[in-house]
Structure 1
Amino acid sequence: MKQLLIGLGCLLIVRATAQTPTASPLTVEKIMQDPKGWIGTSPSGIFWAEDSKTIYFNWNPTKAKGDSLYKIPLTGDRKPVKVAAAERQKLPPATGGTYNRARTLKLYEKDGDLFLLDCKPGKTGGQTVRQLTNTVERESNPAFSGDEQKVVFARSNNLFTVSLATGEWTQITNLDPGTKKPAPKTNDQETWLKRDQLALFDVLKERKAKKDEGEKITKAGQPKRPKQFYTEGKTVQNQRLSPDGRFVTFSLQKSAQGAKTAIVPSYVTESGFTEDLTARTKVGAPLASSEFYVYDIQRDTIQAVSTKSIPGITDSPDYAKTAPSPSSVPDGNRRGPSAAEVTTDTIKKTKKLADRSVTISGPIWSEDGKYAVVIIRAFDNKDRWIMRLDPATRQLKLLDRQRDEAWVSGFGPLTSMTGFLTDNQTFYFPSETDGYSHLYTVNVETGEKKQLTKGKFEVQQIQLSNDKKFFYLTTNELHPGEQHFYRMAVDGGERVKLTTMTGANDVTLSPDETQLAIRYSYSNKPWELFLVDNTRSIPKKGKQKSATQSTPVQLTTSLTPEFQAYPWRDPTIVTIPARDGQTIYGRLYKPAKPNGKAVVFVHGAGYLQNAHKWWSQYFREYMFHNLLADKGYTVLDIDYRASAGYGRDWRTGIYRHMGGKDLTDNVDAAQWLVRTQGVDAKRIGLYGGSYGGFITLMAMFTTPDVFAAGAALRPVTDWAAYNHGYTANILNEPFSDTLAYRRSSPIYFANGLKGHLLICHGMVDVNVHYQDVVRLTQRLIELRKENWEVASYPVEDHAFVEPTSWMDEYKRILKLFEERL
């Protein structure tokens, strides 16, 4: 192999010196075979050595059964080298770890033990690792104490420190998972007898006084131990010691009571017996509760943080305040609750939404230990609060509240993209306040807020530079279908674009911030690893200026000659007008010889982006679309309402009605194909998996004259049967918002089926349960429908694994379209 450099915007794939094979026609068997041998394995899991001189990544150029760890030293010829098992065992984990303030030491956990890495730059003899613990029990979450003389860590539900100088361990908390036993009570008779005995007999009185004095002396001579606190079976989480060592904060989580877990039977097993797989609860099941505590070590008190003062803690969502009108509820010949039942049920359950539970994450401490910030989320996900916590008084002060009548954008607990700047008062965080995910700051002392980025784009990743003078940001501001890496001063202003290649640039910054390891791909080119020198773009003496961009150097070549031989299409990014005036982005595969037939692909996950300029995670579907285009089909896949990358309004466009705007976007796209691409309106099919399977069912049941055939893969048929974390955000809960579930679940609309429907589902799917398709099957039987079929896959979970399963599924999809369009 010969390695070549890449020019700006150019991607030259390095090919074998042997003659490139001639492309053979695509078949389902070819594109659905094991991708390791057919396509090649792209690099993944990129991480750096602490000295910034070596890149590590997972890779599999030898087509082994599993990926291996490789490295590329930046000195020498920069060729990938497989990491030996002995060297791999000594490496720190690819992610995680905590630095000291000078970034000369790094703490990390590995295999349940704690390690300290000396990563001083230019250290003679290389970097050294010191193992701090070697125990059977697991130590976790290591952090430096405020004075950086100790390591704070969790073990068996308690917090400990170990001195870096002496190795001495100290237990900070004494949280007992049991229940405190009440002291034995004495009755009036026993109390009187004891008092009378001491009054009668001097010897008893003297012995008691001597005993009491001895216990007092013994107690005074004992070292002070942490206060014992009984958690009564609750799970201890997120223990943190304040920088000054005075306070410990922690959460207690109580498991949900009475939450029934679904069971998924597995029929093809090694034992020969049917085995039950534990799956999950369904939406609306009772949830775990959470409480947040402060342990004041100085005062030896443990008390809960009250949430009653949180602004809007009792606010009910708008949907609970207004009952639907009977005319808005789907009815007719589809079975389900009547309009009157839905209206009554919605009103009846409103009171249950008055008192809301929350979960508290953090605190995040300023470097000087003066300020602590917590991030609070309501369980119904309508609110996210950022609040300053005074641990001494346990009082909360509001810094920022994001309220969304749909659901607050999913940044998790936010702790990975938040923190303090060098002044120890300015706290940065992402928010969708103006309709797009942007970067904000707030002064925790004055409450003054500032928006640092603005525009119709999303800030998707945030990283503070080592010196805290700059932010490194990943955004899609150049185009919704591109991702680039930028640098920006911490007070906002000009953003300097550090990546140049069109597509997606997934950047892993070297620890010293001088190099960018870029996992890059384009629409028709899978991911490869590139290197960019970042030193040219770093401003001198704090002056911001445009970056002098270095040429990206390609470090890996992963594709097989057979895969490269086929001229994979670069789908055209198109924009389609929706009926409500919004713009839909899509990817169009145009055939050389159109046959008038078209297929619309519906991506899964709902909140996911696929109409972009990088290698799709739906790579099998991408190859299938090339196969269809070779046969004359026009293929279109769109980022319908609720897809990622387009801001809050697009994200929440399906609130309380899945199968509403997300479906009409697909219908509008199909009609656009007829108007602009010469497609026959009576020969359009669609297919998709998971959420895409759900949309396929809704399309076939509620817009049967638009799509002549559809393939629904692992589809949700009734949202009341799906999980809580995803579904409750969008549809609330089945017993409090029956209307939302009634109009969003395909099973209620099955009577509308006219075209030909294929349903494919794995039988050991622990995400969308096989029960979904079984219930729909019974519904179709009772409706006397005949134009449908179900293909079941006994050993497949939600995401198929076996090539034979992929082949069978897509042969059926192709047959459906060939015969019915």
Structure 2
Amino acid sequence: MKLRLATAALGIASAVLYPAISTAASTAASASTSAHASPAVPEQPTLELIMSDPDWIGNAPQSPHWSDDGGSVYYRQKREGEDFSDLYRLALDADSAQKVDETTAPADSGRDKVYSADRSAVAWLRQGDVYLRHLPDGVIRRVTATASDESQLRFSSDGRRLSFLRDGQFFAYGLDTATTAQLTDLREEDDPDAEPAFDVLRAHQLRNYRTVVETLRREDSAAQATGERDLRPPPIYLGDEYRVLERQLSPGHRQLALVVTARNGDAGRKGSMPNYVNADGYVSVREVRTRVGRNTQSPQTLLLVDLDSGSITPVDFGSLPGIDEDPLARLRKSALEWHTARGADREQVKAALAAPARRDISVTGLAWSPDGRHLVAQITANDFKDRWLVTLDSEEDDAPAPRLQHRLRDSAWINWAYNEFGWLRDSRRLWFLSEESGYSHLYLKAIDERRARALTGGDFVVREPAIDPAENFAYVVANRAHPGNYEVYRVPLAGGDLQQVSDLDGVSSFSLSPAGDRLLILRSWYDRHADLYLGASDGSGELRQLTDTVSARYDSIDWNVPEIVEVPSSHVNRPIYSKLYLPPDHDPAKSYPAVMFVHGAGYTQNAHMGWPYYFREFMFHTVLANAGFVVLDMDYRASKGYGSDWRTAIYRQMGHPELEDYLDGIDYLVESQGVDRQRVGIYGGSYGGFMSFMALFRAPEAFAAGAALRPVADWMHYENDYTRRILNTPLVDPEAYQKSSPINHVEGLQRPLLIASGMQDDNVFFQDSVLMVQRLLELKKPDFEIAIYPLDGHGFTNPESWLDEYRRIYKLMQENLQ
């Protein structure tokens, strides 16, 4: 069964129900819907309007969550004209939402809450402090009121204590005693009282001076007596060789899992970023990230600390399958010849390329079982070719040996998404996401059984898993019906079919009610940002819309809602899903110019049915379409939502498969939409700016003009975790960087190019654009310009900068395509 929209609640007939829900939504509309009055004459969007502060659109509900009794929902909403949000409470039997006074004591728990095992208590963080509610009587206690921020809330396995982390140490609050005790005193230094190493002079002094010996004995005796009376935890000294990256306390409060790395590890040289526009009139400089391959990506170690004895045990991952292999061996040999052929000293390069005896790893996730006996660790190889899930039994007498639960391998790279995992209450079964089938799916595995069981499967993506309180179902968001349509589904944990429980075309996320019987859905559509809906978790009955936060002014404009089309590919046996915007009264028998948009992030999805991350570009495409342009926005190879093969097609060749897809897009536009092949432009930001470079440099005959916004010019200047996955490192895989960096293809530029960059961009450095300009100057390329924005970063915040940038793009396309 599927939840369907309650058309009666919307006051419209089901025969004309439009998925965007453009009418007034429900009687429970948001109290803070924008107050713009609807104009008498429909307004036409202008660049000034669509690039202004987006408050004029209305502000969507954010971070929705349930009240403790399930009778209300809460959400945050950005305050108009400000950079912060307010909290609202919407009673499900009320007509409107009410703003919550956050200076008073809370009436309900917050969004990121934790429950005791018997669900008699709930705890949450509010402005960095800990709150606790006893659910049977509703009494709320404020557990902490400190200047420090607490985190990592967790109830003990016996349900009698609530632990939290503060300033690197764990504390426990007794639910019965209402007292707080410190559980750990972890120190990243050597033990000052440790027995010193043999020293000949010290030995001489102790042999000859009885008074010195007696003084030391008395000091030790006093310290021991004081320690026996001291209720505080004894210090545990890690030594000064480690730097702690993460810490997780077991539910029994007996053990601590620590992820550490070498304190003296090479972090790499950081970049510097100047700011020329400051209140004091001086230039300020800040440090920013390192570059790919310029640090050693220090390996990590997992330590298990026994809080009773103070013993510290490193976990040996040498038994992991494949840990002693070198998946980069072939590339190392090729790199040696590549660097040597270009003048490098062979022996120096050979030494630098030497593979480690064992692959370095990072600990990318930890979770203790509810009973505190087992720890599950997610281990990722630093070359990103392997991901292992292992469990450790804390009751083993010797050092716990990792027990492999799952191995995910990828010859390209392990995804940074779809890695969620967790325990069921029985402390015996794990659930996790894996792309082993080629798509992200949900699996269940008992830790004492050999194989995992797939709960979902097929050529679609599953994400955002949540287990219902009764542990009968796993709820997920999936694009099973269409790659761009994300609905809510559930699957029985005992096994069975995937059941669709929402029928709201678009893009949805959800939150289960405390009882698990209802769904709070945050759903958006092509031309409407997300609003809240309510329905039964089994999909029965009708769906009720709770908020309608789109402004009347935005709603009055006739936006060009795109169609998702399947562009035929000449390189792979599947279509390229794309958003197509057509001019009013489009006639494919006529001749049109076209603008191709390239979404950023590389790995994201934009050809979906929801409100886009690139909402300004969506509105800009209406302006372009109204001016007579056809616009195509493609989910090229590397985009999210289409499985691992689509994602990894760019491995070691960024900018090549994607360009092939855009050239197929031109063929599609020419053959079916009346586009003139000689009048096609391209633009995009971030990865889209990189691709605009590659398009103009590598296929200059195909594009009449292009705009590269906040663009990557040279991947050797980008950050480590992203770039190393796709291109390895410049040392190990120089050919991939040579092939993939636009700076190496500038000679091909023949058509007008606009470069636009924010000077405070700490993601893609402004330096990339400067280097590109220098290369263009050296090659004497005549037809380019650069626009700089002194106070903006990667994502612009100043409306004036947005307006200037898109005026330039519009002018570029008008002058070169019309």
TM-score, normalised relative to structure 2: 0.89
Q: Which amino acid aligns with 1:83?
A: V
Letter in 2 for 1:275: S
- Map Cα deviations across residues 633-690 of structure 1 (whole Å, 9 max, x no partner): 1110110011000000001111111111112111111122112222111110000000
User: Is 1:271 equivalent to 2:280 in the alignment?
Assistant: yes
Match for residue 814 of structure 1 among 787, 797, 810: 810
Tell me, yes or no, if the aligned pair for 1:70 and 1:82 is still in contact at 8 Å.
yes
Change (3 A) 1:802 1:321: closer
Q: Partners of 2:166 and 2:79 in 1: how far apart? A: 40
Q: In the superposition, relative to structure 1, how do residues 762 and 552 fare at CA in structure 2: closer, same or farther (>3 Å)? A: same
Structure 1 position 302 matched with structure 2 position 312: yes
Q: Give 3-state SS (helix, strand or coil) of 1:683's partner.
A: strand
Counterpart position of 1:105: 121
Q: 2:66 aligns with which of 33, 48, 58?
A: 48
How far apart are the structure 2 equivalents of 1:703 and 1:784? 19
Counterparts in 2 of 1:639-788, with a 5 A limit? 639-788=635-784
Relative to the length of structure 1, the TM-score reads 0.89
Distance in 2, Cα, partners of 1:19 & 1:268: 39
1:631–1:777: structure 2 CA closer, same or farther, 3 Å change rule?
same
Q: What SS is found at the alignment partner of 2:554? A: helix
- Alignment partner for residue 450 of structure 2, among 444, 447, 450? 447
TM-superposition CA deviations, 1:505-550 (whole Å, max 9, x none): 222222222332222222123322222244xx2xxxxxxxxx42x3
1:470/1:218 Cα in 2 relative to 1: closer, same or farther (>3 Å)?
Answer: closer
Q: Which residue pairs with 1:588 in the alignment? A: 580
Deviations 1:97-126 (A, max 9, x none): 321012221122334432212233xx4xxx
Asked if the contact 1:40–1:63 (Cα under 8 Å) also holds between the matched residues in 2, the reply is no
Question: Is the CA contact 1:92–1:108 (under 8 Å) kept in the aligned structure 2?
Answer: no
Write out aligned runs for 1:9-24 (5 A): 10-14=19-23, 21-24=40-43
SS of 1:573's equivalent in the other structure is strand
2:121 matched to 1:115?
Answer: no
**What amino acid is the match of 2:287?**
T
Residue 601 (structure 1) aligned to one of 576, 591, 597: 597
CA distance in 2, matches of 1:353, 1:320: 15
- 1:236 lines up with 2:244 in the alignment: yes
Is residue 2:179 matched to residue 1:162? no
Deviations 1:410-443 (A, max 9, x none): 237x4xx322335432211110111000111222
1:240 partner letter: Q
Aligned-residue Cα RMSD (Å) equals 3.2
Shift of 1:66: 4.7
Q: Quick check: 1:80–1:555 contact (8 Å CA) kept in 2? A: no
Q: C-alpha distance in 2, partners of 1:377/1:370?
A: 23
Residue aligning to 2:411:
405
- The answer to whether 1:83 aligns with 2:100 is yes
Q: CA separation of 1:83/1:322 partners in 2, compared to 1, >3 Å: closer, same or farther?
A: same
Q: Corresponding residue for 1:250?
A: 258
Contact 1:96 1:108 in 2 (8 A): yes
- Give, as a single letter, the amino acid of the residue that structure 2 aligns with 1:296: D
Instruction: Write the distance in 1 (CA, Å) between the matches of 2:442 and 2:216.
Output: 68
Counterpart CA distance in 1 for 2:46 and 2:232 is: 74
Residues 1:502 and 2:478 aligned together: no
Among 598, 614, 619, the alignment partner of 1:618 is 614
What pairs up with 1:386-535 in 2 under 5 angstroms? Answer: 386-391=389-394, 392=396, 393-411=399-417, 414=419, 417-534=420-537
CA offset at residue 599 of structure 1? Answer: 0.7
Task: Return the letter of the residue paired with 2:411.
Answer: E
Q: 1:420 to 1:234 in 2, by over 3 A?
A: same
2:294 corresponds to 1:285: yes
* Higher mean C-alpha displacement, 446-455 vs 737-746: 446-455
Instruction: State the Cα distance separating 1:748 from its structure 2 match.
Output: 0.9
CA contact (8 A) 1:21 1:561 kept: no
Q: State the shift of 1:717 in Å.
A: 0.2
| Alignment partners' CA distance in 1, 2:205 and 2:486 | 83
Per-residue CA deviations over 1:737-792 (Å, capped at 9, x if unaligned) read 11111111001111110011111111111111111101110110010000111111
Task: Note closer, same or farther for the CA distance 1:62–1:570 as it changes in structure 2 (3 Å cut).
Answer: same
Number of matched pairs: 786
Kept after mapping to 1: 8 A contact 2:705/2:753:
yes
Retained in 2: the 8 A contact 1:3–1:14? no
2:29 is aligned to none
Counterpart AA for 1:34: D
Equivalent pair of 2:36/2:552 in contact (CA under 8 Å): no
Q: 1:83 Cα shift?
A: 2.1
Matched position secondary structure for 2:64: strand
CA–CA distance in structure 2, aligned partners of residues 519 and 500 of structure 1 = 13
- Most deviating of 668-677 and 283-292: 283-292
Distance 1:50 1:700, change over 3 A: same
Unaligned runs of 5+ in 1: 330-335, 538-546
Match of 1:630 among 622, 626, 631: 626
Q: Distance in 1 between matches of 2:580 and 2:213?
A: 96
CA contact (8 A) 1:159 1:239 kept: no
1:175 to 180, 186, 190: 186
CA–CA distance in 2 between the matches of 1:73 and 1:342? 72
- Say whether the 8 Å CA contact 2:370–2:426 is kept in structure 1: no
Aligned residue runs from structure 1 range 533-572, under 5 A: 533-534=536-537, 537=538, 547-548=539-540, 550-572=541-563
SS of the residue 2:302 aligns to = strand
Q: Which amino acid aligns with 1:461?
A: E
Identity of aligned residues (%): 35
CA distance, structure 2, for counterparts of residue 806 and residue 218 of structure 1: 66
Quick check: 1:715–1:773 contact (8 Å CA) kept in 2?
Answer: yes
Q: 1:260 aligns with which of 245, 252, 269?
A: 269
Q: 2:237 is paired with a residue of what secondary structure? A: strand
1:491, CA displacement in angstroms?
2.4
- Measured against aligned partners, the alpha-carbon deviations of 1:603-653 in whole angstroms (never above 9, x if no partner) come to 000001011111211111111111111111111011001100000000111
- Aligned ranges for residues 281-360 of structure 1 at < 5 Å? 281-286=290-295, 287-318=297-328, 320-321=330-331, 323=333, 349-352=352-355, 354-360=357-363
CA contact (8 A) 1:21 1:565 kept: no
**Is 1:499–1:505's contact at 8 Å kept on the other side of the alignment?**
no
Indicate whether 1:578 and 2:569 are aligned: yes
Distance 2:314 2:336 in 1: 45
Residue identity in the other structure for 1:263: S
Once the 2 structures are TM-superposed, how far is the Cα of residue 798 of structure 1 from its aligned partner?
0.7
